Structure 1
Amino acid sequence: MEQTINILFNGLSLSSIILLTSLGLAITFGVMRVINMAHGEFVMIGAYTTFVVQQLFSNFLPEAIGGLYYFVAIAAAFGVAFGLGSLLEKFVISRLYGREIDSLLATWGISLILQQGARSIFGSQGVNVTAPAFLSGGITLGECTFSYNRIFIILLVALCMGAVWLVMYKSNFGCQMRAVMQNRPMAQCMGINSRKVDNITFAMGSGFAGIAGCSVALLGSIDSTVGQSYIVNSFMAVVLGGVGNLAGTVIGSSIIGISSIFTENYTSSTIAKAVVLLIVIVFLQKRPQGLFVIKSRNLD
């Protein structure tokens, strides 16, 4: 029983990171229909931003407030990824709308450029982020241990989910975003600036990938390929849940994360990836549109 609880907790924490990465994809891929192969590199940017903020705090600020660096790093990771995402959309993605293959190849090339840029700045060896004191240790109940950093990641993901839900369904911008997604010509006729909506939407998706990188930084070493470890599962979570559906992204991330941890516990990480991929393939054979489908009034 204790082992099962530990596996479920680890699966939930992995699902949370996949979900946080998938939030950005659910926006850029699900809402904008843009296949962004550089999305994993925004996770990397968020992780390296966390490292830089930690170094700034340790070198220039009193040790007494050093533990607060992580809260600053979350905001900084979102801001840096948001800004770079906005620039990428303005100068590259905006010229490739409706050309999925071209956008895929262009963003793949950008991902290689960003990886090489990270190697040039930080070196090819990985760097490590030290968790603040309040995230060290964990809660022990019998033989079950729940680490504070993973609990914090789960709560952070829940907070981000709430923020995305409020923006998409309770704000004027979210209404404009969904209008552009469902019927762009009609939204433009109603006076919505679709170019501005596209830019902010893509930047917001990139920003949440930066926050995902901030979470990943707590769990292991950071290098130029850290984002690639999560991007495939994130794409599968978005497709499995239903492209563009927030609730489907949550369920898809949970299925992939928990299945991966359970299988890896009894076999190996390689077999776990194969089993998860098989689950997704079998499911999409039966329901190719995913768990949930967004209905619109577009005429065939």
Structure 2
Amino acid sequence: MVQLLLEGIFNGISIGSVLLIAALGLAIIFGLMGVINMAHGELMMLGAYTTFVVQNGFRAMGDSFFEVYIFFALPAAFIVAAIMGIILERGVIRFLYGRPLETLLATWGVSLILQQFVRSVSWQMVAGLGIFALLFFGGWWLLSRRPNFVQIRKWAISLLFPLSAGIAITTGAILGNIFKLAVTQPWFGAQNVDVTAPSWLRGGLPVLNFQLPYARLFIMGLTALCIVGIYVFLQRSPWGLRIRSVTQNRTMSACLGIPTNQVDALTFALGSGLAGVAGCAISLLGSVGPNTGQNYIVDAFMVVVVGGVGKLVGSLVAALSIGTLNYLIGSGTLALVATPIQPVADFFTFFATTSMAKVMVFAFIIAFLQIRPAGIFPQKGRTVDA
């Protein structure tokens, strides 16, 4: 019975580590910036698809290269998701700071767009979007160099947007008719794709009479590395100091010369890049599809809220607790352990499925938040008032 409980705890911690790496980027964006980013799961999806692309590239180079592709996929996933995060922050979020409901709705719309983009985009659409981005943002950059840009800003938007969109649609249609781009897809589609782990990540480490999968141990190590890296960056680097300063008092930070706009972009890029790393890690555990990120977004939010907004240590404790509790209840381990007490065993047997275990865990979370609404590690001092 003790061995069964230990096995359940080990497996629960490994699940918690997967959940934690999914929540790390959200802890940065939601915890430090107060932005409810419903597109966080789609950033994870982009990281997972980036891993798939890198894997295929290294597989074509030979087996010896394939064994190390994961070390190139991780930074590639971070960069792709970070770039998308910067685009999202500069194009949408920067206009919605201080309005959490609007950020929720806007990023939810972005998440639907990204899902559909991966599912059904054609080369014609890619060409049109590329031309639009080049014309609109290029024109915006040129006009922003003018000394009277503030006065002509609204006029610039009203002129650039329809002009760029019209040229992009027309050019995309012409290219589509000439090269038949409308019927070909550059990637993926609605079907799931598989990411194959290197041979050294297959199998498991024997512990007593069960095994810990090497892939999950790798994710646990990667999660620990990310936590240490985030902590060192926020506590020891100049930009980390600027991020913490803007988080506590944006107005005073701006008065002291801190570039708050650059800090916002960097923070969002960091959180988005971590989502890409999470997607890379999660791709080692199962197939990747347009809805991959949706499987983790709710649990990731629960980790951040239960742990305490902006508290990385709280996110760590919450992720391991929620993951372990989910596994112990859903696998029926608690029901077997409680067999000597039949009413308790019957109670846990009723919840001994994955879906019912989530229901019970959410009930525990709701009850916990009634007692500690600010989470395990609540914010203190001026941060609460900011």
TM-score range, shorter chain: over 0.9
What are structure 2's unaligned runs of at least 5 residues? 121-186, 333-351
Is 1:160 matched with 2:226?
A: yes
Distance in structure 2 (CA, Å) of the matches to 1:220 and 1:17? 12
Residue in 2 that maps onto 1:251: 317
Residue in 2 that maps onto 1:46: 47
What pairs with 1:74-89 in structure 2 (closer than 5 Å)? 74-89=74-89
Residue in 1 that maps onto 2:174: none
Contact 2:48 2:282 (8 Å CA) reproduced: yes
| 1:10 alignment partner AA | N
Is 1:72 matched with 2:93?
A: no
The size of the alignment, in residue pairs, is 299
1:8 is paired with a residue of what secondary structure? helix
1:294 Cα shift?
2.1
Contact 2:305 2:375 (8 Å CA) reproduced: yes
Residue in 1 that maps onto 2:162: none
| 1:88 alignment partner AA | L
Is 1:99 matched with 2:102?
A: no
1:145 is paired with a residue of what secondary structure? strand
Residue in 2 that maps onto 1:16: 17
Distance in structure 1 (CA, Å) of the matches to 2:34 and 2:301? 12
1:139 is paired with a residue of what secondary structure? strand
Is 1:280 matched with 2:365?
A: yes
Q: Which runs of 4+ in 1 moved over 4 A?
A: none
1:238 Cα shift?
0.5
Residue in 2 that maps onto 1:3: 4
1:128 Cα shift?
0.5
Structure (1 or 2) with the larger CA radius of gyration: 2
**Cα displacement string for residues 254-284 of structure 1 (whole angstroms, at most 9, x for unaligned residues):** 1111111111111001111101111110000
**Cα displacement string for residues 25-77 of structure 1 (whole angstroms, at most 9, x for unaligned residues):** 11110110000000000111111110000011112x13222111111000100
1:122 is paired with a residue of what secondary structure? coil
RMSD: 1.2
Distance in structure 1 (CA, Å) of the matches to 2:3 and 2:289? 33
Is 1:139 matched with 2:205?
A: yes
1:190 Cα shift?
1.0
Distance in structure 1 (CA, Å) of the matches to 2:101 and 2:202? 45
TM-score, scaled to structure 1: 0.97
Distance in structure 2 (CA, Å) of the matches to 1:199 and 1:122? 29
**Cα displacement string for residues 210-248 of structure 1 (whole angstroms, at most 9, x for unaligned residues):** 111111101011111111111111101100011011111
1:137 Cα shift?
1.1
Percent sequence identity over matched residues?
47
1:5 Cα shift?
2.6
Distance in structure 2 (CA, Å) of the matches to 1:111 and 1:200? 21
**Cα displacement string for residues 141-172 of structure 1 (whole angstroms, at most 9, x for unaligned residues):** 34111111111110010000100000111111
Distance in structure 1 (CA, Å) of the matches to 2:42 and 2:356? 25
Residue in 2 that maps onto 1:214: 280
| 1:14 alignment partner AA | I
1:6 Cα shift?
2.5
Q: 1:191 aligns with which of 257, 274, 293?
A: 257
Is 1:201 matched with 2:298?
A: no
Contact 2:59 2:65 (8 Å CA) reproduced: no
TM-score, scaled to structure 2: 0.76
The change in CA–CA distance for 1:287 and 1:142 in structure 2 (over 3 A counts) is: closer
Distance in structure 2 (CA, Å) of the matches to 1:209 and 1:129? 17
Contact 2:219 2:281 (8 Å CA) reproduced: yes
1:20 Cα shift?
1.1
1:124 is paired with a residue of what secondary structure? coil
Distance in structure 2 (CA, Å) of the matches to 1:18 and 1:139? 21
